[in-house]
């Protein structure tokens, strides 16, 4: 299905400001569809005047749809829909007398010109499935009157309002709770859902006739409500914005849409939504994130303590081989600690591995015993990795870098500078890493499959068993040096 922007670019002469206006309208027109109990279709004028293109569509959540199939991307030739052409040419709302019949369903159609900066840039058709129409209740009459007011505002260029939109996740919808206030902020109608929410705040009795701002001040403690200017602007309907307020038991988001169909403000549409459960979950997530970070912090501290104990033990060892083995263990424990340190500083359960890789490279060079200065350069990005993958890959990368530094330049002559390059490519669901040095290369009799070295055994086990990847060791293609290629899946 084509997007609004694609259709505009392909078939119309609308400019970027027009598109931004239409996108802002799309962000809010669910309100109009629900209040109208009708489907809305946005029609774009063809640049050559041959007809109209359906650029967007919105179904109501409050009534039956008038369209079984999506119509976005369809074209209506000139002369086929007189209502569209009349609304576009006159800039006025046009209502049809007799209903259309679609799939044996009678549909009442109204055309609303979309005006920006004094120009008609598109037309909205409001399509009501008459099978869903019954004797209207007061709620339905108030909904329809408010929908008509918003339609007139669209035709006058007063709606949508720049900078105000309701398409974020917790924005209130018509069905959550609907109130209408007059120009003085007095409630003229409150839906049953809105009345229930205010009773949860502590209201006894009805809302009709009450000053909504004053009532809310009495029910909500000052520390749980917005500043006075925001509270007054939203609950009297003077500003197109939303705010959040709460008692000890319930949290609400309140949104105001001022109504001015003839230019002067006659009142406002107020939508309210109970977000008590959402805020409780937010608090639980914050607590969980803090707990996870604290666990990583403590694990990192414990690993550093273990590393310090191993380091002390190594200093007391008389055997050079034993001392070297303990120092290797210190380095490996420190590698895991680096990952947990990174995880203790983020609220997410994954790691920016570029930072980890760069720190590990610095650690390897710093503790190198080769006696040769070595420079490590990274090309490409690891991106973010899950903590489990990051911990294992950190161990692998450290061992490979350690082998490159220690074995590649172990007997290099004085004055030599080693260069190790880490090439990273991420794509196609896989992570490919190449670690190449310009040292002495692999021994002639070296066989990676039969080598019993502890470091290589660790790398092979981690890559193949833990990461489900492949490891290849060989001479550098350019000559002079060795390369380790690691290929692991990211899924």
Average pLDDT, the chain: 86
77 - beta bridge partners?
51
The number of angstroms, rounded, from the C-alpha of 229 to the middle of its chain's C-alpha atoms is 31
Q: Model confidence at 149, in pLDDT bands (50, 70, 90)? A: very high
Alpha carbon distance 175, 34 (integer Å): 8
**CA torsion, ordered 222, 225, 231, 237, to nearest 10 deg:** -140
120-135 core/surface letters (b: 16 or more CB in 10 A; e: else): bbbbbbbbbbeeeeee
pLDDT at 453: 67
Average pLDDT score over residue span 392-402: 84
Contact yes or no for 180/269 (Cβ under 8 A):
yes
Share of the chain above pLDDT 70, in %: 88
Average pLDDT score over residue span 54-59: 96
Q: Model confidence at 302, in pLDDT bands (50, 70, 90)? A: confident
Query: Shortest CA distance to 176 belongs to which of 194, 149, 158?
Result: 194
pLDDT at 301: 81
| Span 95-124, pLDDT tens digits | 877 788 887 888 899 999 999 999 999 999
Query: Is pLDDT of 93 > 60?
Result: yes
Q: Model confidence at 448, in pLDDT bands (50, 70, 90)? A: low
419 - beta bridge partners?
375
pLDDT at 312: 84
Alpha carbon distance 224, 279 (integer Å): 13
Greatest mean pLDDT among 64-68, 193-197, 330-334 lies in 193-197
Q: Model confidence at 136, in pLDDT bands (50, 70, 90)? A: confident
Q: Model confidence at 26, in pLDDT bands (50, 70, 90)? A: very high
| Span 318-374, pLDDT tens digits | 888 787 777 777 776 776 677 667 666 665 677 788 888 888 888 777 766 666 788
For 102, residues 6+ apart whose C-beta sits below 8 A from its C-beta are: 66, 67, 68
What are the CA-CA distances from residue 442 to residues 293, 378, 474 (Å)? Answer: 42, 22, 7
Query: Is pLDDT of 176 > 90?
Result: yes
pLDDT at 447: 67
pLDDT at 363: 78
Contact yes or no for 177/273 (Cβ under 8 A):
yes
Q: Model confidence at 473, in pLDDT bands (50, 70, 90)? A: confident
Query: Is pLDDT of 455 > 90?
Result: no
Query: Is pLDDT of 143 > 60?
Result: yes
Here the tokens at position 176 are 């959550």
Residue bearing tokens 């006894």? 204
Query: Shortest CA distance to 177 belongs to which of 57, 66, 38, 276?
Result: 276
| Span 411-427, pLDDT tens digits | 655 557 788 899 999 98
């Amino acid at each position: 299905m084509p997007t609004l922007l694609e259709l505009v670019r392909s078939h119309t002469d609308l400019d970027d400001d027009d598109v931004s206006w239409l996108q802002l309208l799309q962000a809010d027109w669910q309100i109009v569809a629900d209040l109208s109990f009708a489907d809305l279709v946005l029609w774009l004028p063809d640049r050559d005047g041959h007809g109209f293109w359906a650029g967007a569509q919105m179904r109501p959540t409050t009534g039956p749809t008038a369209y079984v199939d999506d119509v976005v991307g369809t074209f209506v030739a000139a002369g086929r829909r007189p209502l569209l052409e009349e609304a576009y040419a006159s800039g006025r709302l046009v209502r049809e007398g007799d209903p259309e019949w679609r799939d044996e369903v009678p549909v009442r159609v109204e055309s609303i010109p979309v005006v920006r900066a004094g120009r008609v840039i598109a037309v909205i058709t409001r399509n009501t499935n008459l099978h869903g129409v019954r004797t209207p209740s007061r709620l339905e009459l108030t909904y329809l009157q408010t929908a008509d007011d918003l339609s007139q505002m669209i035709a006058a260029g007063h709606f949508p309002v720049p900078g105000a939109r309701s398409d974020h996740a917790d924005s209130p919808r018509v069905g959550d709770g609907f109130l209408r206030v007059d120009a003085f902020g007095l409630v003229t109608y409150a839906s049953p859902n809105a009345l229930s929410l205010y009773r949860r705040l502590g209201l006894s009795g009805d809302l009709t006739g009450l000053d909504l701002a004053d009532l809310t001040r009495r029910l909500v403690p000052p520390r749980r409500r917005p500043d006075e200017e925001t509270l007054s602007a939203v609950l009297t309907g003077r500003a197109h914005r939303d705010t959040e307020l709460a008692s000890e038991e319930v949290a609400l988001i309140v949104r105001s849409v001022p109504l001015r169909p003839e230019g002067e403000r006659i009142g406002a549409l107020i939508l309210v939504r109970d977000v008590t459960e959402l805020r409780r979950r937010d608090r639980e997530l914050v607590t969980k994130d803090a707990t996870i970070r604290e666990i990583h912090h403590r694990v990192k501290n414990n690993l550093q303590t273990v590393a310090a104990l191993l380091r002390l033990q190594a200093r007391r060892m008389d055997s050079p081989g034993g001392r070297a083995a303990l120092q290797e263990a210190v380095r490996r424990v420190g590698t895991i600690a680096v990952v947990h340190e990174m995880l203790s500083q983020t609220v997410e359960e994954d790691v920016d591995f570029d930072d980890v890789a760069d720190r590990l490279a610095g650690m390897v060079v710093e503790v190198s015993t080769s006696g040769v200065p070595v420079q490590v350069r990274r090309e490409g990005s690891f991106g973010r990795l899950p903590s489990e993958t990051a911990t294992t890959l950190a161990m692998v990368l450290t061992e490979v870098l350690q082998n490159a530094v220690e074995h590649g330049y172990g007997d290099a002559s004085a004055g030599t500078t080693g260069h190790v390059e880490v090439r990273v490519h991420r794509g196609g669901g896989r992570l490919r890493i190449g670690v190449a040095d310009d040292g002495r290369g692999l021994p002639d009799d070296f066989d990676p499959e039969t080598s019993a070295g502890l470091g290589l055994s660790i790398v092979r086990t981690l890559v193949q068993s833990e990461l489900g990847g492949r490891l290849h060791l060989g001479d550098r293609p350019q000559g002079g040096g060795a390369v380790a290629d690691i290929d692991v899946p990211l899924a």
